[in-house]
Amino acid sequence: MKITINWIYILGIDISKDKLDVCLLNRKARGSQSHQVPNNPKGFRQLGQWLDDRQAGKQQTIIVSEHTGRYGERLLRWSTDNTWKHAVVKTTALKKVTKEHHRKTDTFDAQKLAEYGDRFSDRLQVVEAPKPATGQLKRFQAERRKMVDRRAALKSKLTESDLHDADMQRLRQMWNQQIALLREHISELEASIKAIISEDSLLYQRHLTMQTAPGMGKVLDPLWLSLFAGQETLDPRKVSSRFGFAPHPHRSGSSVRSANRSSQFGNSEMRRVLHQAAQCVVTHYRHYRQYYQQKRGEGKPHLLVINNVKNKLIRLYCAMWNNRSKYDPNHIQKLKKSSKN
């Protein structure tokens, strides 16, 4: 049987703040070479030259690195701009190829990333850096979330300040000043986010489409765009599972059996905002209000029904995203008429 090797070279890269440890695996010769370069534009150029010297061309080579957040952003931008194929894997990927528990070095991790790319080459998914507008939107959105959380923490301190057996007047003044400054900065960030969306034609078209959906308010709309901009289609099952709303079975043999349940994990801001959206549509949209009342009448718990509404909203949002179509408020009635016919 003929075996086709899609990638001749696998380049495993362990990313740290200041440097990149790399391991180039030759799948035909079954040999590997290690190297180290700085984690900056100069180091990326050195890496490109090092690969050229070893005749590891862009058509035969794929880069495999772990998801390391901001430390890997510049590398992904470089690989995208220079048309290198780049797969970013989860931080748990190395567990599939690492049986040695005591050894831990950056060089060793780079070797294991190359080995993972070799053994699981059929699972590698090439990714690209987001467009500059999308990247800026993600950064502003993340910073806004941190500021909102800090403001909430300060407000909580204010409400509890009277419980302390001490003079809290000066502290209350300081907290109020910080809250006022955070409020100003949050408003500035929201204006910047709105400007980014308006100035990018693709983001703006997505915004015009998604803002017509039930529950898609001024907070959820830019958050949804920041998470999914650049993706042509969305799978509602995967989106629900990603945010911890999808119910999964919990069974093992004959002794462990319980009702399906969601994981309760996922993006904390999206979980919070979608919960608010579900509460909103149950209050203000007849279709969702009737569904909620029906399920509550059947004895379903409040939070379970709200979780079901979240999944309904995700399916709606994904359908609008995939079809690039605005929300039709008569959609439910049309479906009922078509089913009767």
Residues 238 and 321 in one domain: yes
In this structure, is residue 55 part of a structural domain? yes
Whether residue 113 sits in one domain with residue 18: yes
Burial class (CB in 10 A: 0-12, 13-18, 19+), 286: exposed
- The alpha carbon of residue 101 and the mean position of all alpha carbons in its chain are separated, in whole angstroms, by 29
Phi, psi of 84 (to 5 degrees): -85, 140
Asked which of 59, 88, 123 is the last residue of a domain, the reply is: 123
Distance CA 222, CA 211 (A): 9
- List the alpha helices (DSSP H) in the chain: 41-53, 73-81, 106-119, 132-160, 169-199, 201-210, 220-228, 236-242, 268-284, 286-297, 302-323, 331-340
Q: What are phi and psi of 25, to 5 degrees?
A: -105, 125
Q: Which domain holds residue 190?
A: 132-199
**Which pLDDT does position 98 carry in this prediction?**
77
Q: What is the pLDDT of residue 340?
A: 59
337: in domain: no
Which tens digit of pLDDT belongs to each residue from 136-150? 999 999 999 999 999
In terms of domains, do 179 and 103 share one?
Answer: no
Q: Are 16 and 54 found together in one domain?
A: yes
Rounded distance, CA 63 to CA 256, Å? 42
User: pLDDT for 286-334, tens place per residue?
Assistant: 999 999 999 999 999 999 999 999 999 999 999 999 999 999 887 766 6
Residue identified by tokens 């809290």 is: 168
Here the CATH number for the domain that contains residue 42 is 3.30.420.10
Query: Which sign, positive or negative, has the C-alpha torsion 35, 36, 40, 42?
Result: negative
Question: Do 309 and 272 share a domain, yes or no?
Answer: yes
The answer on 74 and 32 residing in a single domain is: yes
Q: Which of 69, 94, 123 is the last residue of a domain?
A: 123
Q: Are 219 and 324 contained in the same domain?
A: yes
Nearest-angstrom CA–CA distance, 71 and 235? 29
Residues 15 and 113 in one domain: yes
Which H or E run includes 258?
A: strand 256-261
- Other CB atoms within a 10 A radius of the CB of residue 34 amount to 15
pLDDT value of residue 256: 46
- 115 lies in the same domain as 30: yes
Buried residues in 175-186 as b, exposed as e (16+ CB within 10 A)? beeebeebeeeb
Is this model's pTM higher than 0.95 or not? Answer: no
Residue whose C-alpha is closest to residue 308's, from 283, 332, 278:
278
φ and ψ of 164, to 5 deg: -85, 140
Q: How far apart are CA 186 and CA 143, in angstroms?
A: 9
* Domain membership flag for residue 56: yes
> Is residue 61 a part of any domain in this protein?
yes
The answer to whether the Cα torsion of 193, 194, 200, 203 is positive or negative is positive
Residues 87 and 183 in one domain: no
Domain count, the chain: 3
Assess if residue 1 is contained within a domain: no
> Contact at 8 Å (CB) between 214 and 281?
yes
> Quick check: is 136 in a domain?
yes
Is the Cβ–Cβ distance between 175 and 152 less than 8 Å?
no
Q: Are residues 180 and 246 in the same domain?
A: no
* Residue 50 belongs to a domain: yes
Q: Is residue 75 part of a domain?
A: yes
Q: State both tokens at 261.
A: 């349940």
Per-position pLDDT tens, the chain of length 341:
344 457 899 999 999 999 999 999 999 888 999 999 999 999 999 999 999 999 999 999 999 999 988 899 999 999 999 999 999 998 888 788 777 656 678 899 999 999 999 999 888 999 998 888 998 999 999 999 999 999 999 999 999 988 887 888 999 999 999 999 999 999 999 999 999 999 999 999 999 999 999 999 999 999 999 999 888 999 999 999 999 898 766 555 555 455 555 545 667 889 999 999 999 999 999 999 999 999 999 999 999 999 999 999 999 999 999 999 999 887 766 656 655 55
Provide the pLDDT for residue 95: 82
Does one domain contain both 312 and 241? yes
